A and B are shown apart, each in its own frame.
Chain A
Amino acid sequence: MAMRLELRLERSRKLEVLVPIISVLLSLVVVALLLLSTGTNPLTAYGAMLKEAFGTSYGFTEVLVKATPLILCGLGVMLAFKMLFWNIGAEGQLHMGAWGATAVVMTGWDGSPWLMIPAMMLGGFTAGALWALIPAYLKVKLNTNEIITTLLLNYVAILWVAHFIYGPWKDPVSFGFPMTKQFPDGAQLLRFGDTRVHLGFLFALVIAVALYFLQEKSRWGFEIAVTGSNPRAAEYAGMNAGRNVLLVMLISGGLAGLAGMVEVSGIQLKLLKDISPHAAPYGYTAIIIAWLARRNPWGVVLVSILMGGLYVGGETVQITMKLPVNIVLIIQALILFFVLGGDILSRYRLVFDRKEALGGG
């Protein structure tokens, strides 16, 4: 008996919702097997992760802290994906954004937050946007593969930041640690109460709303969607695809840059090496988020908060149960693989044949 896939006439809505849920469960089962192989009780581990991330108020505020850069990067990546531009460079754009925001502080200016914070946001946005325009320009002018260029520029950006914190910007009294001096008060984002949740979270939500309207209600959003789904039709309709790629990447990189800005200004309060978690960098997680969110801004917010929970839970079991923190990456990747595999079911119907398909089948 052979199995065959038959194109559905209509995509199944029910499956589009069910697939991600089942995918999360399946990936947890696979990781449970992995944990068992190392002699860890998976239920204890999952229980601890869930309780820490969503069961305590402190844990949940930390989830929002992690979700903030994820939402910003995720929105940026999503916008690029919508145009079928594979921006895998959010990690580098985030690093450049953190650098650009820090550059404003490094001028020695110590003013009121009402001026400094917008200036730092502009610095972060611009640096991230310029970094993203390099691969966009190369793609538009020379048709250079953007997956490779955006990715390689990540390594360059990380080394660029390293150069400054080990060199010209290094705090002379940091006891040899590669980091800048702590930012002055005016350069620090307001935090809510005694949590680490900062104004950046609100910025991220506002931008999600703005992108929703841009995407769904504006003519330009329509152009992006058409260019992404049917480049040829867009061309016939007289849309300038090259200009749109540049504009989309300007925003995409700018948002990732803003994520870098809110991290240094809201959380780290200085520029240091680990702007983004080494084991599961925000810029790479954003790719998974954009895909899982079905390229929808609300979806990005929701999935980012869930992923934030995975980070907080992952850190907990790393400390309390001595589990490698890489487990976060494994769960993320498995969810995406199951979604990829499951999506086929919403596009195709499984048909079982009695015999091998005959002839042209």
Chain B
Amino acid sequence: MVAILQAAVRSGTPILFVCIGEIYAERSGILNVGLEGLMLVGAIAGFTAGYSAGNPVVGVFAAAVAGALFSLIHAYVTITLRADQIVSGLTLTILGTGISGFFGKPMIGQVGPGFDQVAIPGLSKIPILGQVLFQQDAMVYLSFVLVPIAWWVMYKTHLGLAIRSVGENPATADSLGVSVAKVRYGCVLFGGAMAGLGGAYLSLAYTTMWIEQMSGGRGWITLALVIFAAWNPGRAMLGAYLFGGADALQLRIQAVGLDIPTYFLMMLPYVLTIAILVLASRASLRRRIGAPAALGLPYAREER
């Protein structure tokens, strides 16, 4: 049981990174459905850099930078050119899949450096919780730090207020002197960097290799997670481990060799995500659960 919970945290961590970033982008009003492509770009950039330097930390930085740079395309197309956010995001996924496959070809079959699990002295001795939360790798600990910061910035700072107001009502934010474009660019780039980190987790911690299309739908699962989390970084953490749990459970049942066909088990994370999404949609039908009002809409001053 403890082993499954520990695996749930590991499995949930990559989508947690991506989710935090996407919450920021969506809070500022920009939907980015290109997460799958961003994760792949982060995974290959992180793996290549980590492999070349022989150091996974270098890989993590490279992945964040690559993710941010790659998301710049989406930012430019949707914010400056005001093109359709959904089409741009889908195209970003297709481009990311292609680019990562192109540059990843020489890396297939290589084993790179990775993050090992490190027990935190003291904390890891707490019964159950210690093993689940504090015998993990460095990137999991990084996510423990990032989530509260992301929550605090969003709800307790002036910057967070600006981001939320841009996503709720860009015209008002604009008239109050907030630069809508700047805030949105910043949030989309941050989202890209976080998606890059999520990808790097896959190629530097979850495994230590590059596998084509290794994100395996996690980018899309994250989009559902954002809705489940009601655009709140704190709730994202809970949700991520729930989604991670489905993945961990599926692998565990397979290992035990129960009489359930393998491929049905592998459907579990996807089906569970749809089920959770349906429940979240029902809840939001009853009471609105905080989707930013201007989400998905381009902003143009003269059309105000």
Contacts and interface: CB of A to CB of B under 8 A. Distances in A.
Given A138-B281, A167-B261, A341-B77, A330 B274 contact: no
Given A324-B102, A340-B81, A340-B88, A162 B263 contact: yes
A160 B261 CA distance: 11
A163 B267 CA distance: 11
A240 interface: no
Interface in A112-133: none
Contact of B83 (A148, A156, A341): A341
A332 B98 CA distance: 9
A166 B263 contact: yes
A176 interface: no
Interface stretch (B161-169, B180-188, B218-226): B218-226
B84 interface: yes
Interface residues of B, number: 50
Interface in A279-331: 279-280, 284, 287-288, 291, 324-330
A156 B281 contact: no
Interface stretch (B135-143, B150-158, B198-206, B296-304): B296-304
Contact of B264 (A88, A163, A280, A344): A163
Contacts of B281: 138, 142-145
A34 B102 CA distance: 10
Contacts of A357: 301
A333 interface: yes
B115 interface: no
Contacts of B208: none
Given A147-B223, A152-B221, A156-B271, A333 B86 contact: no
Given A333-B92, A337-B77, 5 more contacts: A145-B281, A156-B270, A163-B261, A324-B101, A340-B88
- Among B95, B100, B227, B282, max chain A CB count under 10 A is at B95
A329 B263 contact: no
Q: Is the interface of A mostly helix, strand, loop or mixed?
A: helix
A324 B102 CA distance: 6
A360 B91 contact: no
Interface string B73-104: 10011000111101110111011011111100
Contact of B223 (A7, A145, A167): A145
B91 A333 contact: yes
B178 interface: no
Given A340-B77, A341-B83, A7 B220 contact: no
B148 interface: no
A103 interface: no
Contact of A326 (B98, B262, B284, B303): B98
A327 B98 contact: yes
A333 B262 CA distance: 34
A11 B272 CA distance: 45
A150 B94 CA distance: 16
Given A152-B217, A155-B270, A326-B102, A147 B86 contact: yes
A328 B73 CA distance: 19
Contacts of B57: none
A239 interface: no
B86 A327 contact: no
Contacts of A152: 217, 220-221, 224, 270, 273-274
Nearest to A340: B83
B33 interface: yes
- Among A143, A328, A337, max chain B CB count under 10 A is at A337
A102 B180 CA distance: 53
Contacts of A167: 261, 263
B273 A333 contact: no
B95 A337 contact: yes
Interface string B271-304: 1011001100110110000000000000011110
Nearest to A327: B102
A274 interface: no
B125 interface: no
Given A147-B223, A329-B98, A340 B87 contact: yes
A340 B73 contact: no
A159 B223 contact: no
B149 to A, nearest CB: 27
A167 B169 CA distance: 54
Contact of B285 (A6, A142, A163, A361): A142
Contacts of B266: 159
Contacts of A148: 220, 223-224, 273-274, 277
A43 B26 CA distance: 42
A147 B33 contact: yes
Given A148-B224, A326-B97, A159 B263 contact: yes
A8 to B, nearest CB: 13
Contacts of B220: 148, 151-152
Contacts of B95: 329-330, 333-334, 337
A56 B227 CA distance: 51
Contacts of B33: 147
Contact of A340 (B91, B98, B217, B301): B91
- Among A149, A151, A336, max chain B CB count under 10 A is at A151
A7 B302 contact: yes
Contacts of A156: 267, 270-271
A115 B297 CA distance: 51
Interface in A147-200: 147-149, 151-153, 155-156, 159-160, 162-163, 166-167
Contacts of B282: 142
A163 B263 contact: yes
